[in-house]
Amino acid sequence: MPPELYGRPLDQAVDRLGSLTQAVAVESSTRTDGPDAGARRIRLVNGPLEVELLPDRGLDLAQVRADGVPLAWLSSTGFPPLSSGDADGRGWLRGFGGGLLTTCGLLNVGPAQSGEEQHPMHGRYSSLRATVTRAEATRDTVVVEGIVREATVFGDDLELHRRIVLPVGERVIRVDDRLVNRGRREAFPMVLYHVNLGWPLVDAGTRIVSPAVEIVPRDAAARAGLDSWDVFPELAAEYPEQVFRHVLDAVAEPGSRTEVRVESASGIGVRVGFDPAVLPGLFQWRVAEPGQVVLGIEPATAPTILGRADALARGLATPLALGEERLLGISIAVDPSGG
């Protein structure tokens, strides 16, 4: 379907605008109150699609709205600054604001790791500030680019170049990442794209369509919901989180694409697309209790969320040579109600 704005083909729509900013814009601001006071925000407008970016959290995505409908789950913590040190390894949970995308990594995915190498839960990415190098709206794209670096003296030095693109006239968000090893040694990066979907998209009866060839529960809580992994449950006063690993076809050609579809009863849906050759891990997270109605779709560089030590011991963390680059990223497409 060709791109359009508010029912008009894109060329016709542009001819009817006094200024492109009527329908397409990039707006930067600084928060003045609340847990994230002083933090930068960037708001992207692409017709009916509005996206909030968090430059002080690696250019992750906060709330996203399509036709005014919120798509992301936001937690009660908000988006306060996180410490890269994190004394007990669980600071991530104290500042996990949700948002449509929280990036986990760049060196750990899963529980905190102690010992010779210490890594907080889900890594340090959420504590890293991006250097924004471009923020621009044109008649073709709304685009923001930035660089996020996780570095230690005498240790790993990883640089992630992030490019967020909204093609004008389409309900699509592309997150294109280029990961570079700037360090003095081979690195073993780990990255997980934690997509957090909330109400009203997520409610009892919301369905998931997955490319998985097998669904594996993480623990006893997940085993209890295995028979209905693809249908979001009714709310309960207490609903222990459930995590499922979606086993993908082991044979995937580089550059191929697959997707997970999430479909609500109202017809609105979201499709999370990725390359299974570079993101061979896929996880599903869900909670269904008051305040925490959330469905997570999580493509990852390794098929484990048990932490860095587990990934290294099982040979699941793919090495990145000095100076080597790796292309990662996901796309998030919105299907409107009835579309």
From residue 6, give the alpha-carbon distance in Å to each of 45, 47, 136, 212, 315: 13, 7, 21, 36, 49
Burial of 302 by CB count in 10 Å (0-12 exposed, 13-18 middle, 19+ buried)?
buried
Model pLDDT, residue 267: 84
Query: Residue 267, CB half-sphere, CA atoms under 13 Å: how many?
Result: 4
pLDDT digits (tens, 9 = 90+) for 25-56: 999 999 999 999 999 999 999 999 999 999 99
Alpha helices in the chain (DSSP H): 10-15, 91-94, 220-223, 308-313
Ranking 91-105, 215-229, 275-289, 321-335 by mean pLDDT, the lowest is 91-105
What is the distance between the terminal CA atoms of the chain, rounded to a whole angstrom?
Answer: 11
| Residue corresponding to tokens 């699509």 | 172
Q: How far apart are CA 30 and CA 28, in angstroms?
A: 7
Is the peptide bond between 299 and the residue preceding it cis, with omega within 30 degrees of 0? Answer: no
**Dihedral of the CA atoms 81, 82, 83, 86 (nearest 10)?**
150
Q: Is the pLDDT of residue 85 over 70?
A: no
Identify which of 53, 170, 160 has the alpha carbon closest to the alpha carbon of residue 101.
53
Residue 87 has pLDDT above 60, yes or no: no
User: How many other β-carbons are positioned within 10 Å of the β-carbon of residue 115?
Assistant: 7
Q: Are strands 258-263 and 269-274 parallel, antiparallel or unpaired?
A: antiparallel
pLDDT in tens, 163-208: 999 999 999 999 999 999 999 999 999 999 999 999 999 999 999 9
Domain with 214 in it: what CATH number?
Answer: 2.70.98.10
The pLDDT-based confidence of 88 (bands split at 50, 70, 90) is: low
For residues 156 and 159, what is the distance between their CA atoms, to the nearest angstrom? 10
> Cα(320)–Cα(333) distance, rounded to whole angstroms?
30
For residue 115, pLDDT beyond 80:
no
pLDDT in tens, 141-168: 999 999 999 999 989 999 999 999 999 9
Q: What is the pLDDT of residue 218?
A: 96
C-alpha 287/C-alpha 108 separation (Å) is 23
pLDDT in tens, 252-289: 777 889 999 999 988 899 999 999 999 999 999 999 99
Residues 294-330 pLDDT 10s: 999 999 999 999 999 999 999 999 999 999 999 999 9
**Cα(129)–Cα(218) distance, integer angstroms:** 32
Reading the block at residue 287, the tokens are 């909670």
- Would the pLDDT of 139 be above 90? yes
Q: How many Å apart are CA 95 and CA 83, to the nearest integer? A: 10
The confidence score (pLDDT) of residue 335 equals 93
Q: How many CB atoms are closer than 10 A to CB 222? A: 21
Tokens of 14: 């542009």
For residue 233, give its domain range: 4-335
- What phi, psi does 11 have (nearest 5°)? -60, -40
Listed in sequence order, the residues at least 6 apart from 204 whose beta carbon sits closer than 8 Å to its beta carbon are: 232, 233, 234, 235, 288
Average of pLDDT values for 200-223?
A: 97
Number of domains in the chain: 1
